Amino acid sequence: MIKVAVVGALGKMGRATVMAVSRDPELDLTWAVDVAGGQGAMLPVDGGEIEVVESIQALEADPPEVIVDFTQASAAVENVGWALRKGVHCVVGTTGIGEKDLERIKALADETKANVIIAPNFALGAVLMMRFSEMAARVFDQCEIIELHHRAKLDSPSGTALETAARIEANIEGEGPPPSREDSVRGTRGGEVGPVHIHSVRLDGLVAHQEVIFGSTGQTLTIRHDTTDRSCFMPGVIMAVKAVHRLGGLTLGLDDVLGV
Ligand code: NAD
């Protein structure tokens, strides 16, 4: 049994993770942590309840083997730093972690015996969407991304859009879509990651969706992924928890976990 702590346990993703971990016969949910916890806060798990402690420091006496972090970027960076120094592997779904922090996390993971997987999207369909986009970028010379999320999402563009754009940029040869010649409303051509334009939509009624549109003379190719329920992230999270001990240092994305 792998001992697991879920950090950000009272959040939308944290609650789903707490339940998924508690249901897996190979995993042992030993801790649930959330800054909004403490004072006897409890969460339902498979067959019972678990107390939600307020701070990751409470794990000091009996550290888990893996933490799963679904909090917010600055908190995740601190939590991962704490865990790595304690030799605890980390699976991080929190998005918005900047390049500098990623470099620091990589250096720390290389120094310690613990590993980290950071994946902007645990939905297996989204992992394939990014992989297919890399392939399409070798054939098409222009690409725009439209990502659509629920209105409570803090960061934009989404981590998935940024990761997709970076992979496309590494593979595309064209100079990208034409720039706006007359921008009567600022921002309508989206933000730019190299040659890729990204458009972020935030609306009630959405969960997480992304469309990657490639264009070249006389044809387009659209690769679209839709998340209709947060349960879609859980198979990827569970796979990552079980794989993190064998992937050295920092691993970005789930491709190595899935073997694609
Ligand atoms: P949420 O706001 O519902 O939950 C975040 C939780 O983290 C809250 O309960 C908050 O109290 C807690 N928290 C904040 N700082 C903390 C700290 N220092 N220690 C412990 N708990 C802390 O957000 P959410 O929708 O669950 O999303 C969480 C993160 O996961 C976001 O960054 C989101 O973009 C990302 N996300 C990733 C995926 C993926 O597949 N990788 C999917 C969905 C969301």
pLDDT of residue 178: 77
- In the prediction, which pLDDT does 179 show? 72
Q: Which atom of ligand 1 is nearest to the CA of 15?
A: 26
Q: How far is the CA of 142 from the centre of ligand 1 (A)?
A: 33
The pLDDT assigned to 182 comes to: 79
φ, ψ for residue 148, nearest 5 deg: -130, 130
81 lines ligand 1 (CB under 6 A): no
CB 17 near ligand 1, within 6 Å: no
| Residue 196, CB-side half-sphere exposure with 13 Å CA sphere | 30
Residues contacting 108, CB < 8 A, separation 6+? 80, 81, 84, 85
Q: Which residues of the chain have pLDDT under 70?
A: none
Neighbouring C-beta atoms of residue 199, cutoff 10 Å = 18
Catalytic one among 3, 86, 150, 153? 153
The answer to whether residue 153 is catalytic is yes
**Residue 177: what pLDDT?**
79
Angle at the Cα of 47 (from 44 to 50), degrees rounded to 5?
A: 40
- Pinpoint the alpha helices (H) of the chain: 12-23, 73-85, 99-111, 124-137, 159-171, 234-243, 255-258
Q: Is 10 in the pocket of ligand 1 (CB under 6 A)?
A: yes
* Cβ contacts of 176-182, under 8 Å, gap ≥ 24: 176/141, 176/142, 176/143, 177/142, 177/143, 177/144, 177/215
CA distances from 21 to 6, 68, 97, 121 (A): 9, 10, 24, 18
In whole angstroms, give the CA distance from residue 210 to residue 161: 8
